[in-house]
Each structure stands twice: as structure tokens, then as C-alpha cells.
Amino acid sequence: MSEDATLILGDKQYRFPIREGAEGERAIDIQDLRARTGYITLDPGYGNTGSCESAITFIDGEQGILRYRGIPIEQFEQAPNFVEVAWLLIFGHLPSEDEYRVFSHDLTVCANLDESMKHHFEGFPRSAPPMAILSAMINALSCFHPDFFELDDQAQFRMAAAGLISKVRTIAAYAYRHSIGQPYMYPDPALRYVPNFLHMMFSQPYAEHICEPMVRDAINLVLLLHADHEQNCSTSTVRMVGSSQANLFASCAAGVCALWGPLHGGANVAVLEMLDQIHQGQISPEDYVRMAKDKDSKVRLMGFGHRVYKNFDPRAKMLASVAEKLLPTLGVKDPLLDIARKLEEIALEDPYFVERKLYPNVDFYSGIIMRAVGIPTNMFTVMFSIGRLPGWIAHWWEQAQTMGNKIARPRQIYTGPTQTDHVPRDERPDRL
Ligand code: SDX
């Protein structure tokens, strides 16, 4: 295969190098396109544009493959450990016994928030969207850790990463407790990552929440399956913000805001609302699918479709399996699971979805699992954020370590008015 691509513009030819990734994916390197040709490319939504080189996560959308640092996600299913996967994504290898022990210790000692941060929660209305609180409080965290503004050495970065990954649980739990008017529960140093989070969410001063092993494993798996997904909208946002050398906290707070949207992480909430709407008898699964196919309805089958996966999202398969096992074991009979299965069955046989290669994605079953363990719907995207945080941190650090990293600054095709003159207000046409 030619080692470069030829672009013909008028009577001129330009050659651009072809770059090949570790898994054979190819890119035309156009870093000097404008300087040499005066042209830019146009790719709204960046569906055809590589923004960087990365060694963290590999996705093959056609094959439905997802690997963290080369390890297929299916291999984490037997003994799901979110903390291990967080280390793997951030530092590039599975932690040794000592690395895991030290990292776990760092997570334990970093779990508390500065006591004065509690006043911030009191300033939010109880009805405040938890994602608004989460992004605000992650940014507020940086005010208490000015030492994390400049992360030059690995040890300092490791403490900042541990602090963020640990405290995000505390912030999420406190946001929930504030919303229901219940006292904040301090993190318990005797508990591991997920049981400690559920303790802060559900324990009472008079009654300790006990995390069943099957729930611990299910939530570990939910979190690790959300941990990274290469250059998705929120991770690209973290990289974009970090490219200006903004600090880790500010970059991750921006990631929370991007994830919030219903086309992205907010879809897990929209899926539950869709399933509940069907369950309430307001519409049948068949009619909902019919509406989702009708462009004029502005309705989409939430939890279906993906910019990259044009095959099953492997995470959806694993989460569907977790839901099928966990609910009966917990003695939970959730009609929404049956409705989800029915919608999947209808859609996967419908030419509209088949032709567009629309399959269930990570958001289609995750909410049913979280609902079964008592996590309220408005906290689902917060759970996605807790899961995705290690991926954001890993990409922020990978970019910060890249020699010659430049500030992200896309160009545009301008379509506004050509040069015109300013008009004094008393000479302007009447308009209201
Ligand atoms: C996540 O990028 C990531 O990796 C994201 C993520 C991660 O881990 O970070 O995987 C997490 O965000 C998963 C996606 C969650 N969002 C949803 O479930 C919302 C519903 N899905 C869609 O809005 C949509 O599928 C997207 C946003 C996910 C992908 O949109 P694309 O790739 O831009 O596809 P598109 O909008 O161009 O649609 C292509 C066609 C269109 O029809 P035509 O114009 O060709 O006739 O497919 C149709 C769309 O109307 N379509 C859908 C549909 N998704 C796409 N029709 C009905 N229901 C849907 N869900």
C-alpha cells in the first residue's frame, strides 16, 4: 500500500503521509494541510477526524471490540475490580500487589472532603441536578488543593488522581444525601471503594448499610465498563480543556458537563424515563419504536445507536447479563427489564434499526442495575461520571505527557456576512 495519500487541487498535487495504528487503523496525516494548500477540512461532529494518538483504549466498532490497554473488557467480568482498572488505564499496566496496596491506601486516606465544603452543598436547592453539583464541586475541590494545580511529577499526579477518584464518591453521596435531607455519612476507612460509596449513600447514623458481595461486584463491573471509551464527547472535552494547560480538576469538571447531555451519558436517565413511560401504559413498546423511526417525532430509542459501534456494544451485552442475574438474586422483579428486552427484540428485527446498525449501547441496561440496588434515576449519570473519571484522568495525563502538545484550536468555514459597516442606532431599521 502507498505510504502516502495524494490530494489533487486544481493543477497541483499534494502528498500526505499515512499513519497506521497498532491495530491497523489508518489516518491521513494532514497537520500541514493549510500551510501547504490554504485549505482546511470540514468534519462536523469529528466522525472522520482523529484528534490525537492514544495508547489507552482500543475500540473496533464494526467488530464490537473494546480493550483497556489491550485487555478485552470481557476479561474483567469474573472478578470485577474498578480500582484495578482505574490504575491500568491511568498508569498503563495492571497494578502489582504493592502498587494496588498503596493506591487503595491513598484512596482511603483521600476520601474525606474538607469540612468547609459541606457548606457548598447547603447552598444548593434540594432539587438541584446532581450533575450540576458534581461539576461545581469537582472544580471547588481544586480550591482546597492548590498543590494539584501544577502536576509535574508522577508521585504528585498519583495523589491528585487518587484524591479525585476517591472524593468523587463522597461528593456524589453528599449530593444525594442533601437532596433527601439526610445527614452526610463520613467515608468508612474499613470499606473498599464500592461498599464505601454505598455506605455514604445509604447508611444511617443508626443503621449501617451492608453491601452484599453480588451488589459490590455488579457495581464494580458497572463502573469499570464505563471507565474509558477513547475519544468520546466527554473525554475529548477533557482533552480540549487540558490542552490549554488547565488543571486536572477543571478539565474533569468540564467532562462532567459534556457527559450530562442526553445524547451522551445522560442517556441512561432517558432510557429509564422511556421504559417507565411505556410501563405506565402511556405508550406500547411497538408504538414507541414506531415513533423513534419517525423523524418528525424528534423521539429516539434511547440507549440505542452509537457513533462508533455499528455492531453490539460489548458493554451492553455484559450489562444485560448482569441485570438478568442480579435482579432475581436480589429478589427484585422489575417490569422495566422485561420492557427493555421487548424493545430490544422489536428493534433488532426492524429494518430501520438493522439498516442503520443501531444496537443497544452501554446506557440501555445500566440504569436497571443501578435502580435494583436503590440508586435513584437522577444519580445515574453521576454514576457514569464516577466510572468515567479514571478514563478522563488517563487521557488528561497522556496528553500532558505528550511532547510538543499544542492547544486544541479547530478552524471553521465562515458563512456570515462579508464586510459591512457599523450603523448608528438612530439610523437602524425598526425591529422587535
Ligand atoms: C454514550 O462516543 C461514545 O463512546 C459514547 C459512549 C461512551 O462510553 O462514552 O459510548 C456513551 O454516549 C452512548 C450513546 C448514548 N446515547 C443514546 O443512547 C441516545 C440515543 N442514540 C442516538 O442519539 C445516537 O445513536 C447517537 C447520538 C448515540 C449516535 O448518533 P450518530 O452517530 O450521530 O448517528 P446519527 O444521529 O447520525 O444517526 C444516524 C441515523 C439517523 O437516521 P437517518 O438520518 O440516517 O435516517 O440513525 C438514526 C438517526 O435518526 N438514529 C436513531 C437513533 N440513533 C440514530 N433513530 C432512532 N433512535 C436512535 N437511538
259 confidence band (pLDDT: 50, 70, 90): very high
Assess whether pLDDT exceeds 80 at residue 2. no
Residues 266/259, Cβ–Cβ less than 8 Å: yes
Assess whether pLDDT exceeds 70 at residue 1. no
- pLDDT tens digits for 177-200? 999 999 999 999 999 999 999 999
Of 268, 415, 423, 257, residue with least CA distance to 340: 268
- Residue type for position 238: V
Protein residue with least CA distance to atom 23, ligand 1? 263
> What angle separates helix 267-279 from helix 363-372, to the nearest 10 degrees?
70
- pLDDT tens digits for 351-395? 999 999 999 999 999 999 999 999 999 999 999 999 999 999 999
Assess whether pLDDT exceeds 90 at residue 146. no
Shortest-distance atom of ligand 1 to CA 59: 4
Q: Provide the pLDDT for residue 148.
A: 85
Q: Provide the pLDDT for residue 217.
A: 97
405 confidence band (pLDDT: 50, 70, 90): confident
Distance (angstroms) between ligand 1 centre and the Cα of 291 equals: 15
> Which among 356, 359, 383, 386 is the best mutation to test ligand 1's pocket, defined by most ligand atoms within 8 Å of the CB?
356
Protein residue with least CA distance to atom 11, ligand 1? 264
Protein residue with least CA distance to atom 1, ligand 1? 264
Shortest-distance atom of ligand 1 to CA 304: 60
Residue 410 CA neighbour count, 13 Å, CB half = 17
Residues 199/188, Cβ–Cβ less than 8 Å: yes
Assess whether pLDDT exceeds 70 at residue 25. yes
Question: Residue 227 class from Cβ within 10 Å (0-12 exposed, 13-18 middle, 19+ buried)?
Answer: buried
Distance (angstroms) between ligand 1 centre and the Cα of 61 equals: 13
Which residues form ligand 1's pocket by a CB distance below 6 Å? Answer: 229, 232-233, 263-265, 267, 292, 300-308, 356, 358, 361-363
Residues 302/274, Cβ–Cβ less than 8 Å: yes
List 306, 313, 350, 395, catalytic entry: 306
Q: Provide the pLDDT for residue 152.
A: 80
288 confidence band (pLDDT: 50, 70, 90): very high
Distance (angstroms) between ligand 1 centre and the Cα of 2 equals: 34
Pairing of strands 65-68, 4-9: unpaired
151 confidence band (pLDDT: 50, 70, 90): confident
Protein residue with least CA distance to atom 50, ligand 1? 295
Q: Provide the pLDDT for residue 147.
A: 85
Protein residue with least CA distance to atom 27, ligand 1? 263
At residue 14, the 3 state secondary structure works out as strand
Protein residue with least CA distance to atom 41, ligand 1? 356
Angle 204-166-234 from CA coordinates, rounded to 5°: 115
* Whether 306 is catalytic: yes
Assess whether pLDDT exceeds 70 at residue 227. yes
Distance (angstroms) between ligand 1 centre and the Cα of 8 equals: 34
Distance (angstroms) between ligand 1 centre and the Cα of 203 equals: 38
* Whether 363 is catalytic: yes
Distance (angstroms) between ligand 1 centre and the Cα of 57 equals: 21
Assess whether pLDDT exceeds 90 at residue 64. yes
Integer-rounded Cα radius of gyration of the chain:
24
